[in-house]
Structure 1
Amino acid sequence: MFPSQSALQKNFVAAAPAGDVAAPPSGANLYARFAFAGAVCCSITHGAMTPVDVVKTRIQLSPEIYNKGMIGGFRQVIAAEGAGALLTGFGPTAAGYFLQGAFKFGGYEFWKKTAIDLVGLEKAKENRTAIYLVSSAIAEFFADVALCPLEATRIRLVSQPSFANGLLGGFSRILKEEGVIRGFYSGFGPILFKQVPYTMAKFVVYEKAAESIYKSIGKPKDQLSNSTVTAVNLGSGIIAGTAAAIISQPADTLLSKINKQKGAEGQSVTSRLVTMSKELGVKGLFTGLAPRIVMVATLTAGQFAIYGDIKRVLGATGGVEIAQ
């Protein structure tokens, strides 16, 4: 499932003429590699976590039925629908997060570099937290435009298993019956409310955690082994994923609820969200938090580890570092 190093190098790294040293990628070439690395890492990790996401979504949507925790939820789904039900929504998950990952990671690198060029390297280092936050927020906005239709399809398939047979069937039915805006983007507000704070927390906590770990090691990053760098990425990702999951949990619950079924004719998305929030209350908004922390911490750690490894293989090391 993960591309081999030889395949990545063959397709993305141009061979240098004999005796010459290949110039490092820059410009669009560099950001295309960042985007590809982000697309692969998000698609693999979110796709692999589909069973956890199925159970988490069921707990959020039907807490009166799925009220036995994450392990109990797995057993309930398997007993009622078979083990194959745990892969419901795998297609839209893998495809949606491939697109989202490209925009998120590639966009984050692009907007971070843009901000650094705007204010200067020294000032950027002094205000690096603000740069991390702004860059990740802008990148995530555009990533969500790409993700939202596929996320709406995934949630519909998970919440209504008989709705369609897979990605193409579900996507086509929603488009035909509900149209683009109402069918695919009714959850755009909640997805922004969920994903933008999630991504801001994810990147800033990751950057800060990695910075602290490297300081404790006492050696510059370029003097460490590849395995050590990967371990740092994993550890920082776990910390970042846990923080991001907690911050974005209420919006994740609302997103699942609003995409479960059609809204009433003439009812606005805002009024639906307000009504749902009142009905759920604080406790309801955080239903399913434990399995989501497990899922998000695991996939975030995997994302940063895979992202770093693919960047290294592709020679995409031209991003500007502003950590102290």
Structure 2
Amino acid sequence: MRVGEGRFCEEFSPGYYGVCAVGGMLSAGTTHLAITPLDVLKVNMQVNPIKYNSILSGFSTLWKEQGPSSLWRGWSGKLFGYGVQGGCKFGLYEYFKRLYSNVLVDQNRTLIFFLSSASAQVFADMALCPFEAVKVRVQTQPNFAKGLADGFPKLYKTEGPAGFYKGLLPLWGRNLPFSMVMFSTFEHSADLIYRNVFQRRKENCTRAQQLGVTCLAGYAAGAVGTIISNPADVIVSSLYNNKAENALQAAKNIGFSNLFTRSLPVRITLVGPLITMQWFFYDTIKVLSGLPTSGGSIRHLDETDSSAY
């Protein structure tokens, strides 16, 4: 069965971008919720690397000192915060990719991927930031709050509106490079698989084949993006726990080499499968709507290159 039969809507229509936004919201929210225990450990390793110095000992320490429920602390911030972020990120990426591909006709595809993902991520992180501010405090300060319901008013009372966006610049510093590398790596990996493995255009592949390409390209995207974004991720956790007044001071306190190595093993364990599952769920929703999966070249840029398929 070819993709396109029984479509819910046409590509690049308002309904299409709506499907992409809903798909991004559901895929990002549910996958981030599922890995909450690893995220709790990651944040604590970043804030207190001496106490939480490895994955196994870190889990053991959290379990013994704070109980098994501590591993799910901040779950609501993961579900709703990253759900909102995912909806903006995936939905706006599709919109900006179409926009830039039509405006920048003669430009390199990588530039279009970079611009599209960066534009989408700016808005996505603005939506995420308040949730992230509460989530990190809930995960690392057991007496701060139980979740979003009591965390939001407490943070507003103690720090005002600025407290919700204290980490926005480091968040952009973490997520903008990650998003740009992730989407570009995904797009190029998918193209590579279609060209060299299936040796046919995406439109001529089955749904199962397209979803298989999505998983392979998604894992590659997650692995590369993790390494690029690790320094900013460590700084974000430091700022939200008042370990430093600003990003420069946090980086100085942490140390250059530690920015790249601290919590990296747990982030690789966390992000690789997470991004793979996000792309898989996202594209599954698109397929169930009768739409083709993500990846594959932008059409007007591919028309002169069809012989490669």
User: What is the aligned partner in structure 2 of residue 54 from structure 1?
Assistant: 40
1:6-29 CA-partner distances (Å, limit 9, x unpaired): xxxxxxxxxx9xxxx976365221
- 8 Å CA contact retained: 1:43, 1:101: yes
Asked if structure 2 preserves the Cα contact closer than 8 Å seen for 1:206 and 1:236, the reply is yes
* Equivalent residue, structure 2, for 1:159: 140
Taking the aligned partners of 2:282 and 2:137, their CA distance within structure 1 comes to 30
Match of 2:22 in 1: 36
Whole-angstrom distance in 1 between the partners of 2:9 and 2:223: 39
From 65, 87, 105, the equivalent of 1:102 is: 87
Secondary structure, aligned partner of 2:170: helix
Name the TM-score, length of structure 2 as normaliser: 0.89
Which ranges in structure 1 are unaligned for 5 or more consecutive residues? 1-15, 264-268
1:260 paired residue number: 241
CA gap 1:81/1:128 in 2 versus in 1, 3 angstroms = same
The Cα of 1:276 is off from its aligned counterpart by 1.4
Residue 259 of structure 1 aligns with an amino acid whose one-letter code is Y
State the SS of the aligned residue for 2:50.
coil
Runs of 4+ in 1 over 6 A off after TM superposition: none
**Which of 155, 176, 187 pairs up with 1:207?**
187
Whether 2:227 is the aligned partner of 1:242: answer no
- Residue 180 (structure 1) aligns with: 161
1:219 is paired with a residue of what secondary structure? coil
Map of 1:283 onto structure 2: 257
C-alpha offsets along residues 147-199 of structure 1, whole Å, 9 cap, x if unaligned?
00000111000110111121111111001111111x11010110000010010
Contact 2:47–2:237 (CA under 8 A) maintained in structure 1: yes
Alignment check: 8 A CA contact 1:25 1:318 kept = no
Match of 1:300 in 2: 275
Find the residue that maps to 1:84 and give its secondary structure: helix
The C-alpha deviation readout for 1:211-254, integer Å capped at 9, x for no partner, is 11111222322232322222211111111111111101000000
Gaps of 5+ in 2: 1-5
RMSD of the alignment, in Å?
2.0
- The match for 2:172 is 192
> Across the two proteins, how many residue pairs are aligned to each other?
292
Partner of 1:115: 100
Q: CA deviation at 1:321?
A: 4.0
Post-superposition Cα deviations, 1:18-47, rounded to whole Å, max 9, x if no partner, equal: xxx976365221111111111111101111
Whole-Å separation in 2 of the counterparts to 1:77 and 1:128: 46
Aligned runs of 1:208-223 on 2, under 5 Å? 208-217=188-197, 218-223=199-204
Counterpart in 1 of 2:3? none
Distance 2:117 2:193 in 1: 21
